[in-house]
Amino acid sequence: KQEVTQIPAALSVPEGENLVLNCSFTDSAIYNLQWFRQDPGKGLTSLLLIQSSQREQTSGRLNASLDKSSGRSTLYIAASQPGDSATYLCAPKGYKLSFGAGTTVTVRA
């Protein structure tokens, strides 16, 4: 069974700081890995999808890296803004998508 761990569980930073969110998973036999954003009381919004053959993926201020062999992915958010406040979920996909508990980010204005 895939176990996904996200560290830290919560993070509070002043506006403008760069964010580093870590994800580790136990089973490296994955097709891809997705990072999602979840606002309170809302569904999941996909941020980035990294295929197992890729090392990283970028979208605007977001960059995600993947080291499949060591079971790690990192999401970097550059120059954080208050609108980035949300819970971020990492989800490696083997047979199905497995989730960690997420990192709740607060960006202070």
Partner 1 sequence: GAGVSQTPSNKVTEKGKYVELRCDPISGHTALYWYRQSLGQGPEFLIYFQGTGAADDSGLPNDRFFAVRPEGSVSTLKIQRTERGDSAVYLCASSPRTDYGYTFGSGTRLTVV
99 binds partner 1 (CB under 8 A): yes
Interface mask toward partner 1 for 54-83; x: CB under 8 A:
------------------------------
- Please give the sequence-ordered ranges of beta strands (E in DSSP) within the chain, or none if there are none: 4-7, 10-14, 19-25, 32-38, 44-51, 56-59, 62-67, 72-77, 86-93, 103-108
What CA–CA distance (Å, rounded) separates 91 from 95?
A: 12
Cα–Cα distance, 91 to 96 (Å, whole number): 9
The contact pattern for partner 1, residues 7-36, with x = CB under 8 A and - = no contact, is ------------------------xx-x-x
Interacting residues with partner 1 (CB under 8 A):
4, 31-32, 34, 36, 41-46, 49, 51, 89, 91, 93, 95-102
